[in-house]
Protein backbone atom coordinates (compact mmCIF):
# COMPACT_ATOMS: atom_id res chain seq x y z
CA UNK A 1 0.00 0.00 0.00
CA UNK A 2 1.42 3.34 -1.06
CA UNK A 3 1.21 5.97 1.71
CA UNK A 4 1.95 9.61 0.92
CA UNK A 5 1.51 12.89 2.75
CA UNK A 6 0.71 14.71 -0.47
CA UNK A 7 -2.80 15.08 -1.89
CA UNK A 8 -1.82 13.52 -5.23
CA UNK A 9 0.44 10.80 -6.59
CA UNK A 10 2.64 12.04 -9.42
CA UNK A 11 1.57 10.64 -12.78
CA UNK A 12 -1.59 8.96 -11.44
CA UNK A 13 -5.27 9.81 -11.79
CA UNK A 14 -7.07 9.10 -8.54
CA UNK A 15 -10.56 8.04 -7.60
CA UNK A 16 -11.30 9.03 -4.01
CA UNK A 17 -12.74 6.19 -1.96
CA UNK A 18 -13.07 7.89 1.41
CA UNK A 19 -11.53 8.55 4.78
CA UNK A 20 -9.57 5.75 6.41
CA UNK A 21 -8.12 5.77 9.88
CA UNK A 22 -6.47 3.63 12.48
CA UNK A 23 -5.87 4.29 16.13
CA UNK A 24 -4.59 2.75 19.31
CA UNK A 25 -4.12 3.73 22.93
CA UNK A 26 -0.84 2.62 24.45
CA UNK A 27 0.83 2.89 27.83
CA UNK A 28 4.02 1.72 29.51
CA UNK A 29 3.95 -0.49 32.56
CA UNK A 30 4.05 1.13 36.01
CA UNK A 31 7.69 0.24 36.73
CA UNK A 32 8.87 1.79 33.47
CA UNK A 33 6.72 4.83 34.22
CA UNK A 34 8.39 5.26 37.62
CA UNK A 35 11.78 4.95 35.95
CA UNK A 36 10.81 7.60 33.40
CA UNK A 37 9.69 9.87 36.24
CA UNK A 38 13.11 9.54 37.85
CA UNK A 39 14.78 10.21 34.49
CA UNK A 40 13.09 13.63 34.39
CA UNK A 41 15.26 14.63 37.35
CA UNK A 42 18.45 14.32 35.30
CA UNK A 43 17.07 14.86 31.80
CA UNK A 44 17.61 12.90 28.64
CA UNK A 45 15.65 10.78 26.24
CA UNK A 46 12.85 8.57 27.55
CA UNK A 47 13.56 5.36 25.65
CA UNK A 48 10.55 3.44 26.97
CA UNK A 49 8.19 6.16 25.80
CA UNK A 50 9.91 6.37 22.40
CA UNK A 51 9.46 2.63 22.01
CA UNK A 52 5.80 2.85 23.07
CA UNK A 53 5.04 5.67 20.62
CA UNK A 54 6.85 3.92 17.77
CA UNK A 55 4.82 0.75 18.39
CA UNK A 56 1.62 2.82 18.58
CA UNK A 57 2.33 4.61 15.27
CA UNK A 58 3.04 1.30 13.58
CA UNK A 59 -0.16 -0.28 14.90
CA UNK A 60 -2.28 2.75 13.95
CA UNK A 61 -0.75 2.74 10.45
CA UNK A 62 -1.45 -0.98 10.01
CA UNK A 63 -5.08 -0.46 11.03
CA UNK A 64 -5.45 2.43 8.58
CA UNK A 65 -3.99 0.27 5.79
CA UNK A 66 -6.45 -2.54 6.57
CA UNK A 67 -9.37 -0.10 6.22
CA UNK A 68 -7.97 1.10 2.89
CA UNK A 69 -7.49 -2.47 1.64
CA UNK A 70 -11.10 -3.27 2.57
CA UNK A 71 -12.19 -0.43 0.26
CA UNK A 72 -10.00 -1.75 -2.58
CA UNK A 73 -7.56 1.15 -2.38
CA UNK A 74 -4.21 1.31 -4.12
CA UNK A 75 -2.90 4.12 -1.91
CA UNK A 76 -3.67 6.48 0.94
CA UNK A 77 -3.01 10.16 0.27
CA UNK A 78 -2.82 13.03 2.72
CA UNK A 79 -1.59 10.75 5.49
CA UNK A 80 -1.42 12.45 8.87
CA UNK A 81 -0.76 11.41 12.46
CA UNK A 82 -2.12 12.90 15.63
CA UNK A 83 -1.59 12.09 19.27
CA UNK A 84 -3.30 12.98 22.47
CA UNK A 85 -2.90 12.17 26.11
CA UNK A 86 -5.72 9.98 27.39
CA UNK A 87 -4.50 9.76 30.98
CA UNK A 88 -1.18 9.92 32.75
CA UNK A 89 1.29 7.68 30.89
CA UNK A 90 -1.22 6.72 28.16
CA UNK A 91 -1.45 8.19 24.68
CA UNK A 92 -3.75 7.73 21.72
CA UNK A 93 -2.17 7.74 18.28
CA UNK A 94 -4.33 8.15 15.20
CA UNK A 95 -3.27 7.71 11.57
CA UNK A 96 -5.65 8.96 8.90
CA UNK A 97 -5.84 9.84 5.24
CA UNK A 98 -7.89 9.43 2.07
CA UNK A 99 -8.05 6.02 0.41
CA UNK A 100 -7.71 6.23 -3.37
CA UNK A 101 -7.79 3.90 -6.35
CA UNK A 102 -5.63 4.47 -9.43
CA UNK A 103 -7.68 4.96 -12.61
Q: Is the pTM of this model over 0.85?
A: no
Domains of the chain: 2-102 (3.30.110.70)
- List, run by run, the mean pLDDT of 10-residue segments along the chain (103 residues): 97 97 83 52 70 93 98 98 86 96 97
The pLDDT value recorded for residue 17 is 98
| CA neighbours closer than 13 Å in the CB half-sphere of residue 8 | 4
Q: Nearest-CA neighbor of 34 among 78, 81, 89?
A: 89
> Can you give the pLDDT at residue 50?
83
What integer pLDDT is reported at residue 77 of this predicted model?
Answer: 98
Amino acid sequence: MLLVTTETVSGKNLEMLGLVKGSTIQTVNALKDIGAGLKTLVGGELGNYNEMMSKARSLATDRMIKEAEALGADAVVGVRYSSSSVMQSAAEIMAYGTAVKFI
